A and B are shown apart, each in its own frame.
Chain A
Amino acid sequence: MRRAAVIGVGQTKFRTRRDDKTHPELTREAVSRALEHAGITMDDVDAFVFGTMDPFDGINCPDRWSSTAAGFGKPFMKISTGGTTGLTTGIAAYQHVASGLFDVVVAVCTQRVGENVDAQPVLNTAVDPIYERHSGVGAISVAAIQATVHMQKYGTTEEQMAWVSVKDHENALKNPYAHIKKKIGVEDVLSSPVVSSPLKLYECCPRSDGSVAVIFASEEKAEQIRDDPAWILAESSISDSYFVGDRPDLAVWDSLSIAGRRLYRLAGIDDPKKDIDVAELYSPFTIQEILELEALGFAEKGEGAKLAEEGVTFVDGDMPTNPSGGVLCTNPIGATGLVRLGEASLQVMGEASNQVDGAEVALAHAWGGTLQFHALMLVSSHKKLRR
């Protein structure tokens, strides 16, 4: 595998509805911004990888429509791994370049969850029709059952989870692309209606429309194109059991721990707390940021809930997490994972809207399926991990 880097990032504004544009028009908005950010043109791009989670958009295979804005006449493929889609698309585009087959490749993900009048019927179709479709489990209840166990096993409190939401909402205020912009306090979270106990409304993500594009280039091209690319140090991904009941312990995210250890080994990381400056994690629900911080080695098991409460994960803390406002404030599901990579890349380029001072190494994460898949990418302002 050869070295590759992110050379451009483009996002649309994320909103409940983007009535002003059609599917390919949104794709074009993100791709155009990424090309502009990289300072290249469509002619410089060798291939496209497109990601979306069918059928939130109400169009089966919306990649057919959106491909018109994603490299007419160029090599094209579509990726779909549930909520992980965005980052899996990033990994696929990276592998296109790292393999040596292509020099410049665009990953682009477009999703219109907001056009879906009610996303639950779509989520229902994502569950097997034999055993589990009639179980009454929605997207939020899957996170809620994690929270129940974490609270009972480790004594995690509602207030501690609320702090995650307060932090993300504060961060989103600085992000021009973020969907939910609202300053809230712990009391607002605690007094919002319980959706799936113990999770409350302000602990849950919105449904967003929008698109994001991230451009990858080979080492040689990246150095020609810009002075400050975000070098890919490593990526890893993992699949786990289909049935939620197969997970031995919902209070720990063991598949994410395994994926994390693979990533750290590839990148040469011994201590993630020391070696990683900022993380963009896929946390559509407060409890999941806590589980992810523990699984990825930023906190001991059962200690993750303290981080937001103690300010550690705020942008000026020791382990800034989701400085973009995260998935809790913006969730265009199949695009969300690629937003994580885009924001992580901007952090190490020093161009993020809510910049972490001196960020050199940033982590991007996504999960998908019913807690089934994880994807991770690590980017840096340097070609190799520097300690």
Chain B
Amino acid sequence: MVLRIEAKWEIPYVHSAGEHATKFFEALKEKKILGVKCPKCQRVLVPPRAFCERCYVDTDEWVEVKDEGVIETVTINYARFTGLPDPPYAVGIIKLDGADTGMLAYLGGVDLTDWKKAHEKLKVGTRVKAVWKDRPEGRITDILYFKPVEE
């Protein structure tokens, strides 16, 4: 038997969101989701970024998108992983009304016990709406999850 040496990393960081993204987080405090419009390809990018990576031009035009949209895809996690939420939980990509890109988000409001039944309720194309924290703090976690809307 060889010697085994235990080790652990705990390294604190303080990250900057940058001037551009800070504007997005400020808007979240008012339960508003902002995107940016690329002046060249005209795509509305959410989450917003300071330049369009495809056109390589600055994106200075801010536009508000809806906190409602459609599910582009979904998965339900049943395994426990360090640093991730307690299972089961659903994650998907939501294309918000007014946006040209999808946004990673939690999905909720549906019983996740049986994945096949849950996928039926969270089908690609299903309309969903954001469920917000009561008192948003200007963080990405202000949007708790998206849930299907009754049509």
Contact = CB atoms under 8 A, between A and B. Distances in A.
A55 B9 contact: yes
Report which residue of B2, B46, B75, B91 has the largest number of chain A beta carbons within 10 angstroms of its beta carbon: B75
Contacts of A146: 73
Interface string B75-106: 11111011111000101111100000111111
Contact of B84 (A124, A193, A194, A245): A124
A149 B53 CA distance: 25
A136 B91 contact: yes
B6 to A, nearest CB: 9
A134 interface: yes
A118 B119 CA distance: 28
A257 interface: no
Contact of B104 (A20, A124, A135): A135
A246 interface: yes
Contacts of B102: 244-247
B75 A197 contact: yes
Contact of B83 (A121, A130, A243): A121
B145 to A, nearest CB: 10
B74 A145 contact: yes
A181 to B, nearest CB: 23
B8 to A, nearest CB: 9
Contacts of A153: 124
B55 to A, nearest CB: 12
A241 interface: yes
Given A130-B17, A134-B141, A196-B77, A149 B72 contact: yes
B47 A244 contact: no
Could you say which interface size class chain B belongs to? 35 or more
Contacts of B17: 130
B51 interface: no
B101 A144 contact: no
Interface string A254-269: 0000000000000000
Contacts of B106: 135-136
Contact of A198 (B4, B13, B101, B115): B115
A130 B104 CA distance: 12
B104 A245 contact: yes
B15 A194 contact: no
A196 B118 CA distance: 13
B41 to A, nearest CB: 12
Interface in A76-113: none
Contacts of A152: 123-124
A195 B91 CA distance: 13
A19 B19 CA distance: 47
A138 interface: yes
A192 B5 CA distance: 33
A284 B47 CA distance: 28
Contacts of A198: 75, 115, 119
A157 interface: no
Interface in B1-46: 2, 4, 7, 9, 13, 15, 17-18, 21, 45-46
Contacts of B105: 135
B123 A194 contact: no
Contacts of A145: 73-75, 91-93
B124 A148 contact: yes
B101 to A, nearest CB: 5
Contact of A245 (B72, B74, B78, B118): B72
Given A135-B106, A149-B72, A194-B115, A118 B81 contact: yes
A124 B93 contact: no
26 contacts: A120-B81, A120-B84, A130-B15, A134-B140, A135-B91, A135-B106, A136-B77, A138-B84, A145-B75, A145-B92, A146-B73, A147-B75, A148-B73, A148-B75, A148-B124, A149-B124, A194-B115, A196-B76, A196-B77, A196-B79, A197-B116, A198-B119, A245-B46, A245-B72, A245-B93, A246-B102
Interface of B: 2, 4, 7, 9, 13, 15, 17-18, 21, 45-47, 53, 72-79, 81-85, 89, 91-95, 101-106, 115-116, 118-119, 123-124, 140-141
